[in-house]
Every structure is written in structure tokens, then in C-alpha cells.
Amino acid sequence: MSEPENRRPLTSRNSAWAARLASWAVTREITPNQISQASMGFAAAGFAFYAMSTQIAGIAQFLALFLAAATIQARLVCNLIDGMVAIEGGKGAKDGPFWNEAPDRVSDYLFLAGAGLAANQPSLGLLAAVLAIATAYIRELGRAEGFPPDFSGPLAKPQRMAVLTAGTVIAAFYASEWTLTVTLWILVAGTAATILRRSWALIEKLKSR
């Protein structure tokens, strides 16, 4: 896990349930890296549920999409708890920065590509995934140049996953392909705006130093 000053600001980090879960992980010797790796497992399950939803109908499709939405939230819990275990729990490892970032890129790809399959718009899902990964690239490029990480939106990771979760839950109840297509277009537009905002901010910082 990265240094505290490089952490994404999250209000949920101060919640009682998060503190209890992080404490539980520390007492059971679960490492931050293992939690980060588990986030990829949830993303793989989410991809499978999205893909499965295209082959079934009725209550089975509802359950597949609902479970896909649940895995998105499970991934976010992992993203929250790994840092708390690493920093507040004092369990950080030398290779933590790799496991803090790489699983996020894998998870973004799997969830968004999976949603594209469920929407019968695989290219749109891949576009959303590429843009999501690009936001992290711009953030890390700024860090490499010595600037604080830029977590600005309008659709940073927490907001992207909130939109995808909401769209997936709605899709479970109504017009799954149409709903997920609209959701992905919202994600593409918002993520593109995020890339432009972060890029402009980084360019201005580079020019002014």
C-alpha cells in the first residue's frame, strides 16, 4: 500500500464497520496484498456473472446481475480494507505499491468488459475499460513527476463503480441490455471528462513549476 499522503480520500475509512473489518483481518494475519489479490477474484466472479447473464433469462438472469453488482461492492471493500490493514494495522509490505495498483487495473478491465458482454456491446465495454485504466495512468504520471496524486472526477474509481453498480441493479429488474448500454455510455463520457480534467491539471502543473 502506498504512503498515507498518496491515499484516495474516502469517508468510509472512518466508519465503524470498516475499522472492525480491518481489525478482524489484522488479527487473522490476512495481509494487505492478499486482500488486494482477493479484489481480482471478486472482479473475475463479476465478469463470469455478467457473461452468464447473456445465456439465461428470468429469475436466473436477475440473480446473475444482482450478484455481479454485489461483487463490484466487494471489490471496493477490498480496496478500502487493504490500505487500512497496511497503514493503520502496520502490515504494509515492500511490494505493497504493486499490489495496491495492479489489481485495480485488472478489476476495472474485468468489470467493464463483463458489463459490455452483458449489454451485447463488447466494444463499448472495452472502451470504458481502456478509459478507466487511462485515468489511473494520468494520476500515476503526475506522481512520477513529483505531484500529489490527482483523484479528481467527475468519474474517479468510486464514482465509476457506483454508476456501474446502480446500472447493473436496474438492469436486473428492467431491460438489461438497454440499461447496461446506457450505463456504459455514461461511464465512457464521465471517464473521458475525468481524463481531460486530470490531463489539463497536470499540464498546467508542469508548465508552472
CATH number of the domain bearing residue 181: 1.20.120.1760
Q: Give the torsion through C-alpha atoms of 68, 71, 73, 76, to 10 deg.
A: -130
Q: Give the total number of structural domains in the chain.
A: 1
Instruction: Tell me the helices (H) and strands (E) count for the chain, helix number first.
Output: 7, 0
Q: Is residue 1 part of a domain?
A: no
Q: How confident is the prediction for the chain on average, in pLDDT?
A: 94
Q: Is residue 176 part of a domain?
A: yes
Task: Specify the range with the lowest mean pLDDT, choosing from 5-9, 163-167, 191-195.
Answer: 5-9
pLDDT for res 2:
45
pLDDT digits (tens, 9 = 90+) for 102-112: 999 999 999 99
Structural domain that includes position 103: 11-208
Q: Is residue 3 part of a domain?
A: no
Residue among 136, 128, 157 nearest 50 (CA): 128
pLDDT digits (tens, 9 = 90+) for 116-145: 999 999 999 999 999 999 999 999 999 999
**What does the block give as the cell for 73?**
461492492
- Rounded to 10 deg, the angle between the 96-118 and 122-144 helix axes is 160
**8 A C-beta contact, residue 65 and residue 49:** yes
pLDDT for res 3:
54
Q: Is residue 184 part of a domain?
A: yes
The C-alpha atoms of residue 67 and residue 47 are separated, in whole angstroms, by 10
pLDDT for res 6:
65
Percentage of the chain lying above the pLDDT 70 cut: 97
Q: Is residue 2 part of a domain?
A: no
pTM to 2 decimals?
0.93
